Homo-oligomer: A and B are copies of this chain.
Amino acid sequence: MNILRVNVAEGTTRLESLGAGRRHYGGRLLTSWTVANEVPPLCHPLGPHNKLILACGLFAGWPACPCSGRLSAGCKSPLTGTIKEANAGGDAGTNLGRLGLRSIVLEGLPPGDTWRVLHLSADGARLDDAAGLVGLNNYDLVERARGKYGQKASIVSIGRAGEQRLGAASIAVTSAEGAPSRHCGRGGVGAVMGAKQIKAVVIDEAAGNGMEPADPAAFRERCAEWARELRSAREVLREYGTANLVLPINEVGGLATRNFSDGRFEGAERISGERMRELMDERGGAHGQRCMAGCPIQCANRYHSADGTVTDDVEFESIVLLGSNCGIDDFDGLARLERMCDDIGLDTIEVGGALGVAMEGGVLPFGDVAGAAALLRQVTEGTMAGKLIASGAATVARVLGVRRVPASKGQGLSAYDPRGLKGMGVAYATSPMGADHTAGPAIPNRPGLTPLELDPVLAQDKDKLSFDLQVMTGALDLLGVCMFTGPVIAGMGKWAGILSAMLGEEWTPQQLMEEAERMLALEHDFNRRAGFSEVDDRLPEHFSEEPLPPTGSVFDVPGEALDRVTSGYTVAERLADRPAEA
């Protein structure tokens, strides 16, 4: 009995079992499988037929198993109309696993204006009235909820954006450090939680571990070895966080700048990971933090602005979308914007993209931190301008008549310009999730790539690269583990070994990747039934026509190559073709 169904129309809960053949189902596989089987593809995303699934992976509850407590949120997306999964770190996945749950399925639509809190503990599940919490943003909400439910409870919540069912609304997950700073950000999953009128899911701190391994000794040994390797191999993330990428991506000429009109930002140094670290060291911030217990990578941080604002977990994507993409090189300013997004419950990528479009559309000038903050405050206030900005980049472009639309399938592009990093462009175009860097993170610093794949501005072979990456990140997503443990073949081997020890059955890397391949096929099939076709697997025309300074590159991966990603390759043939990793 590891699936909790919550009928918000009737206010009832019910436990059921995932089924023997699906013991390994977790994270994105569990959310996508549920959506594909239970949600009518043409339903309104905010209506009674959509479902919101929160799922962890099968290793959740085991801090010894590195980075394995991620929480996935899945549904039909109000932003894109496609199937959607967005996942986050934090402490909720671990506590969910310890309670013996693999997923929570929120179903139906409540009558009237009743908002509730779903409370989970060893005593069971309960729906509480959310009075006193509705209308709050995430930081106040977490403080208030912890006062009521206990200081160590995990809180999964929405801010004002989710309450208003806005397309850029995220679901916040509290970090091991305590703040609501980890977000299932993309695709408006927070709007679906808002439609269900669940203000927060509170998960009591739970003792013990999660699912019992079939071979405990092998499981512990393989986890420990993998954690040691990750700790030594990911030092740069511990020292500079994900922000370490600002300068290299700027250097290759693919850093989203002023609404994707340039690939290099003159202020890149001032918003770099190196600069962030200097300011943290000067002012008493913190680097090398954990978002979940036991993480050996430790990419999280805490940043203090000169005015005393504390931002938990300043991340690369937020820095770029709220920074260079808005022409902002004031680190304190962009950190405050990120804190506001975390608080209001907004996807920093989607909102940064929307602000960039608004700046191009003349609503405010590039570089205007105060103007951007004023617009974000309007989201909390619920004005039409606030709701519009929080509806995402594509909608703002539509309303303002801006032709440079930084979106694919209605979802805003992340920090990498697809003309500067074409493998990323292929993922933006072909992922069943819309533009999503985590779906196929083709960053030119991975081991095991061919020289053609490594060159970010060559179009050649980027279809193969993206297929491989989409399958490997898919495998990580279905296990509910962090992307930063991969996506490389060696990592597939480690995870297949740990999975084998957990289940007491042999899983090869190829089998694991083939499970991800089936998951992708299931997701694409949902999208086909929802009205999407190959025609939607294309980037907006200006990326193919406007050369990107300073390299002059255009996105020139042909349509046939894009179609091969979704229907041309198989894991088996790609593994046979792939060179051995260093």
Contact = CB atoms under 8 A, between A and B. Distances in A.
Given A44-B403, A403-B44, A531-B535, A384 B398 contact: no
Nearest to A396: B384
Interface string A7-46: 0000000000000000000000000000000000111101
Contacts of A385: 383-385
Question: In this complex, which of A43, A387, A538 has the most chain B Cβ atoms within 10 angstroms of its Cβ?
Answer: A387
Interface string A537-574: 01011100000000000000000000000000000000
Interface stretch (A129-137, A164-172, A312-320): A164-172
A542 B44 contact: yes
Nearest to A358: B384
A455 to B, nearest CB: 27
A576 to B, nearest CB: 34
Contacts of A383: 385
A556 to B, nearest CB: 16
Contacts of A540: 44
B399 A541 contact: no
A194 B531 CA distance: 31
Contact of A535 (B46, B49, B529): B529
Contacts of A388: 384, 388, 399
Contacts of A538: 42
Question: In this complex, which of A44, A164, A405, A530 has the most chain B Cβ atoms within 10 angstroms of its Cβ?
Answer: A44
A168 to B, nearest CB: 11
Contact of A42 (B399, B405, B535): B535
A575 interface: no
Contacts of A532: 531
A43 B540 CA distance: 8
A447 interface: no
Contacts of A387: 399-401
Interface in A372-402: 383-385, 387-388, 391, 395, 398-401
A398 B400 contact: no
B541 A535 contact: no
A536 interface: yes
B401 A384 contact: no
Contacts of A384: 363, 384-385, 388, 399
A47 B384 CA distance: 27
A114 interface: no
A399 B78 CA distance: 10
A360 B166 CA distance: 16
A541 B49 contact: yes
Contact of A541 (B42, B166, B391, B529): B42
Interface string A174-214: 00000000000000000100110000000000000000000
A450 interface: no
Contacts of A363: 384
B541 A46 contact: no
A191 B387 CA distance: 23
A194 B405 CA distance: 18
Given A384-B385, A535-B529, A399 B405 contact: no
A232 interface: no
A151 interface: no
A47 B541 contact: yes
B531 A536 contact: yes
Nearest to A404: B44
Interface in A513-537: 529-533, 535-536
A44 B405 contact: yes
A291 B6 CA distance: 60
29 contacts: A42-B535, A42-B541, A43-B541, A44-B405, A44-B541, A44-B542, A46-B401, A46-B403, A47-B403, A47-B541, A49-B541, A78-B398, A164-B401, A167-B398, A191-B401, A194-B401, A363-B384, A384-B385, A384-B388, A385-B385, A387-B399, A387-B400, A388-B399, A391-B398, A391-B399, A399-B399, A530-B535, A531-B535, A531-B536
Given A47-B403, A165-B401, 19 more contacts: A42-B535, A44-B405, A44-B540, A47-B541, A78-B401, A167-B398, A363-B384, A384-B385, A384-B399, A385-B385, A387-B399, A387-B400, A387-B401, A391-B399, A395-B398, A395-B399, A529-B535, A530-B535, A531-B536
Closest 9 A-B residue pairs measured CB to CB?
Answer: A165-B401, A531-B535, A384-B385, A391-B399, A387-B399, A44-B403, A46-B403, A388-B399, A47-B403
